[in-house]
Chains A and B, each alone.
Chain A
């Protein structure tokens, strides 16, 4: 025995108390610092999950995982996503065909899709001229003639239903550091829109206008402005009170500021330009998809690192929640049931009207903003039903399940601490803390649209499945 125990003697006892809070008061009353852990059994107390955690904790393996995770997080931090253009999905998205429909979340068959996603798919088929009307679209969708695939498997992300059809215009984002590309379509603004499951003529008309006016004008604009540094802009938006998932007011102003000269120089008529300006002004959400593509470009660069337990995708299709983990390369989805979203709703709607959690937008939390950066956006704490202190606590909690902080994107109110980055499957299960996701609520039925916003969480199953797969592969 070395002398460490005798070093303990004579000094100040300083205690961490685990399990029985009754001991805390006695220790404190005797003048010793003490804190009681907010302890829950690791892995929900499931023996197989604990065994997997322990297998991955063996020193030589743990060291390897730490190194792999450091590499994954470095790639996320160092990725430099640039907005380099806009283009039609059929022209820019890898693997896109005239009869491909991309959707959000993990893979899902037509017959299993949720109400909002079916609404969006049928609307998109009408928009593409692949069906004559919504009824015909349902038949076409079920015919086997349409290729359905997750956006994520085509370097894309899609907000809410995420339905992306060949002639929709996409952001083209290039990660300058690692050379990979990411894509996402354009904001339809809120609330009765395709991505929320609405699909009436007003929705189709808007999509047509976006294809014929908005998209081409944005494309020309970026040709004039040159590439736009999205990470820098994201960082500025957080400093201005956005969390860049549910609050995008600053980011939209910044993006518009950068695009405006290019839009003005475009070949369109003044009337068209005014239409575009009005459209951008009609909703703060305009830049929402832009930040999703920013995150996707960084996280794709961090995917597929041997030994890493860092989550690179969180995505939902309205039925299932799926994650991908860096150390489980390719399209290895770990899935569980999509959860309810809890939060304020538009007048006239009730919680039972809500569809389940849907969309690829949780890519923002996967990167470290959105719900992870609630502390940056005190203006929307009503969303989480609480106070500014609650918002701070959300961000601090997320630091407990992430690998590092991103010094390139910081939060003023937390002393310019970097956003929590690199969700570690192991930490989620050790702490029992699941990621927090800010998101919108779509009506459960096709054809209606957005009815509220709030927060949700992944089902813990996905992390349990991930740790078992990781232990299987690595241990």
Chain B
């Protein structure tokens, strides 16, 4: 057995480091066995037992370092020793102190008493528990998580109410607090319009339309989609109205929701009556009379809600863009007879809702996965029929994949599928920009749009694509760049969710008139 031994006189290393170095040395390619240790009597005895104690090593003293290498078959000990010596060179510690990572809300708050909001996006089974701990620690809560029991939601909202805290959610995807957009929010101008919303994309739409009109947002409080149900009773929306009523930075309050349960609507409107500030109420498809009776300002559409809010505030309002009749006529002129159906492929639930209602309120039949009427409900596996509006953010469509606002590729195959249907007049789509959203929703969708256009063209027809880009020029990517990319591909770009619905309605009327 060949043994290569090197003695480093007067080189002290502590025994624990040397054990670690020996362990690493034994892992070097070509090393059969390596032994790196101070030349103590004990260590020399170990070498003796292993039959490795050369005369040279025997003569070493306690202050000497021994490097002993037994090369494996075919390896050269003299080449291996320098590799072992490299292990003795201490590596500089990583620069900078590591930031303390916390495991619990309580320990984070212990370190920084200024924390005032918890954003909770854990599995629904654990979300309520975390929220309770955050509320107990005196934090406001934004709960992105869904699949939380309604009993837990009620208990959490009552707890928050009793402690004067916001309990936004569960299933709350959008908020803007003190100018900071949270989860899925847009970069909008600060201003005096306060928003309380049970609908995420609905509130995003109102906030970007307020921005487009020259206004700005003071606070955007999300409530979660279930807040205005009969069970929950609008606890968060009512607390939100009161908080904005007391907020000196808010001049006008806008409420955004799908139609609430009747008894909840009454409670919310009672708050509207006593808010002491103008309140614009946009309950999609809701009735005007009750709102007016409560002293509120009724909004028939998201664009209308934004317009009224800005006009009621002290901001200088610009005029909203409206449906361009000439543009509609130009599109209609391109369509062949039999091209009658509108197919809506949406990422944002409320945006889908608003366009769908534009047709429904016009007397059209619309199939959808978010239709209330069971006769018109269709699922993810079903082909489209007549006018079909699909919300790709619905659980059945996401099926464990990211929400289409994060990854809009979910609907690409559907674009191509719809293009093959000769009865289709137009595809209507949304592109949502902002924090949390995909970095280039137009770019990722355009290849499918072009493919659809090519299929239609080969079939001798025009496929109209109507696109709404929800965002502002302050978002990344910016509104203008996304609009431009779509327009260059021949897509008709609309200015608001409301106008998008009106455009779809105008095209659907063609089929009805035929």
Contacts and interface: CB of A to CB of B under 8 A. Distances in A.
A27 interface: yes
Nearest to B235: A1
Given A35-B108, A344-B19, A19 B93 contact: no
A404 interface: no
Given A3-B246, A400-B104, A32 B180 contact: yes
Given A6-B246, A18-B130, A347-B35, A389 B94 contact: yes
Contacts of B140: 5, 8
Interface in B26-75: 26, 33-37, 42, 46, 50
B457 interface: no
A41 B179 CA distance: 31
B16 A380 contact: yes
A143 to B, nearest CB: 35
A350 B112 CA distance: 45
A392 B94 CA distance: 13
A10 B190 CA distance: 11
Interface residues of A, number: 64
Interface centre among B144, B161, B180, B183 (most CB of A within 10 A): B180
Interface string A385-412: 1011100110010001000000000000
A15 B103 contact: no
B331 interface: no
B101 interface: yes
A452 interface: yes
Interface centre among A5, A54, A344 (most CB of B within 10 A): A5
Given A32-B180, A431-B103, A393 B98 contact: yes
B178 A35 contact: no
B232 interface: no
B100 interface: yes
A370 to B, nearest CB: 14
A382 interface: yes
Given A1-B243, A8-B166, A382-B19, A38 B14 contact: no
B383 interface: no
A245 interface: no
Given A9-B249, A13-B178, A433 B114 contact: no
A18 B122 contact: yes
Given A15-B117, A15-B119, A30 B103 contact: no
Interface in A339-373: 343-348
A30 B179 contact: yes
A471 B219 CA distance: 43
B23 interface: yes
A71 B501 CA distance: 67
Contact of B16 (A3, A35, A379, A392): A379
A221 B35 CA distance: 40
Interface string A1-31: 1111110111111111111101100110011
A4 B118 CA distance: 15
Nearest to A30: B180
A452 B21 CA distance: 12
Interface in A35-62: 35, 37-42, 45, 50, 54
B417 interface: no
Nearest to A10: B249
A396 B121 CA distance: 26
A10 B105 CA distance: 23
Contacts of B219: 9
A344 B183 contact: no
A8 B19 contact: no
Nearest to B101: A38
A5 B165 contact: yes
B109 interface: yes
B261 interface: no
B20 interface: yes
A171 interface: no
Given A3-B164, A37-B104, A16 B109 contact: yes
A16 B107 CA distance: 11
Contacts of A20: 121, 144
Given A6-B246, A383-B20, 8 more contacts: A14-B115, A15-B115, A16-B108, A23-B182, A26-B181, A45-B125, A396-B100, A433-B103
25 contacts: A1-B161, A5-B140, A9-B218, A9-B243, A11-B178, A14-B115, A16-B102, A16-B119, A17-B119, A19-B121, A19-B145, A23-B183, A27-B180, A33-B114, A33-B115, A41-B123, A246-B16, A347-B35, A348-B35, A389-B94, A393-B98, A396-B100, A400-B103, A452-B23, A453-B19
Interface of B: 14, 16-17, 19-23, 26, 33-37, 42, 46, 50, 93-94, 97-105, 107-109, 112, 114-123, 125-126, 129-130, 134, 139-140, 144-145, 161, 163-166, 177-183, 218-219, 239, 242-243, 246-249, 435-436
The 8 closest A-B pairs by CB, nearest first: A4-B164, A2-B164, A19-B121, A431-B103, A19-B122, A344-B19, A382-B20, A20-B121
